[in-house]
Amino acid sequence: MKITVVGAGVSGLTTGIRLLEEGWNVKIMTENMSPNTVSDTAAAWWYPFLAEPIEKTNRWSSETFNELLRLKNIEGVDCITLRKGREYLEEKCGRPGWSFEIPYFRILEKEEVIEGYTFGWEMEAPVIEMNLYMPWLLSKFEDLGGVFELKKFNSIEEVPGKFIVNCTGIGARIMSEDETVIPVRGQVIYIEQDPGFGRFDQQPETLTYTIPRRDVTVLGGTAQKGDWDPNIRENDTEYILSKCEALWPELDRTKIVGQAVGLRPSRYEVRLEKENIDSRTIIHNYGHGGAGVTLSWGCADEVVRLLKNQ
Ligand SMILES: Cc1cc2nc3c(=O)[nH]c(=O)nc-3n(C[C@H](O)[C@H](O)[C@H](O)COP(=O)(O)OP(=O)(O)OC[C@H]3O[C@@H](n4cnc5c(N)ncnc54)[C@H](O)[C@@H]3O)c2cc1C
């Protein structure tokens, strides 16, 4: 079977790899490739943030968690590390569904919760260094026999082939005329300082994170709905730093080494479904919001299942 995947972000590459592993013939056609995709700016901490529907995203996340561990432990992909992180909340709440699927998760003791919050938990999860992981995905795809072509489409009808997988992220607004996909702008700061463990406030209104990678810690964030600005904004830099300093007072501003902006492809729910147009089969795999890396392998496996059940 010959399959055309449109898009070379984390969704397109991961899907392409899974399809090749099934023995299918795969070509990725895309406007941009790494390092010029949204996926390259992902922080990237495993966490199902801003992604619905929960019953599906919980399953796709936990499948991805296990695959990331397998890649790290069995295939030796060393840009995936396991780190501890503490999430702080203003109000007590029940354990999130995904927390039952991961090996290490505990509720914080009262004295471990920092000022301004009343509740929290600690978890251990993969941190993915996208600056290394995206090139690794690209070469894995090519090693398995996949090919790329740079091409921008104006609609799904223009894409050649009988079997097509649409992994265009925010581009699905044009490709599928889907105006329910909207940008949620994220700005991040890179700092050469390790906080020991990650610190998080994952509420979209107050979003704050410090994600420790081996080279830098990624500080965030912003979640600005409907904002298409790709430029770094000084006021956002200050806003992020002041929020991070509240969670991590030792933060040293002199160690900042860079910044980036990306537009999360947000949708009321991930669109992962089959559509038949004339005699062609299209599988849509977009709208992963703030969790495209976290959902990637689970969604790729779902694409394979949908294509097998023709
Ligand atoms: C600041 C920030 C921090 C984040 N942190 C995390 C995190 O910690 N954990 C996590 O899991 N996720 C995180 N995310 C979310 C994650 O980055 C996205 O969900 C993910 O990158 C989406 O991947 P994608 O492959 O669907 O889209 P993209 O990476 O945007 O790829 C889309 C691809 O489609 C191509 N394309 C689009 N339109 C067309 C067209 N018309 N014709 C041809 N090609 C086209 C593009 O060129 C591109 O190659 C973060 C995002 C941001 C911005």
pLDDT digits (tens, 9 = 90+) for 139-189: 999 999 999 999 999 999 999 999 999 999 999 999 999 999 999 999 999
Q: Measured from the CA of 168, which atom of ligand 1 is nearest?
A: 34
> Cα(249) to centroid of ligand 1, in Å?
31
Q: What is the pLDDT of residue 49?
A: 83
Q: What is the pLDDT of residue 50?
A: 74
Q: What is the pLDDT of residues 10-51, one digit of tens each?
A: 999 999 999 999 999 999 999 999 999 999 999 999 998 878
Q: Rounded to 5 degrees, what angle do the CA atoms 116, 122, 125 make? A: 130
Helices (H), the chain: 10-21, 54-73, 130-143, 172-175, 234-247, 292-308
d(CA 308, CA 166) in angstroms, rounded, equals 17
Question: Which residue has the least CA distance to atom 8 on ligand 1?
Answer: 44
Q: What is the mean pLDDT of residues 292-307?
A: 98
| Strand order across the 163-166 sheet | 147-150, 25-30, 2-6, 163-166, 280-286, 271-277
> Cα(131) to centroid of ligand 1, in Å?
14
d(CA 296, CA 15) in angstroms, rounded, equals 8
The backbone region for 188, taken as left when phi is positive above 0, alpha when psi lies in -120 to 50, beta otherwise, is beta
CATH pick for 2-308 out of 3.40.50.300, 3.30.1490.20, 3.40.250.10, 3.40.50.720:
3.40.50.720
Q: Which residue has the tokens 């432990």?
A: 73
Question: Which residue has the least CA distance to atom 26 on ligand 1?
Answer: 169
Pocket test for ligand 1, best of 5, 38, 41 (most atoms within 8 A of CB): 38
Q: Would the pTM count as exceeding 0.95?
A: yes
Structure tokens at 27: 């070509």
Q: Measured from the CA of 151, which atom of ligand 1 is nearest?
A: 43
Cα→Cα distances 268→51, 93, 184, 280, 302, Å: 8, 23, 12, 26, 19
* Ligand 1 neighbour 146 (Cβ under 6 A): no
> Cα(169) to centroid of ligand 1, in Å?
6
DSSP 9-42: SHHHHHHHHHHHHTT-EEEEEES--TTSSGGGG-
* Ligand 1 neighbour 153 (Cβ under 6 A): yes
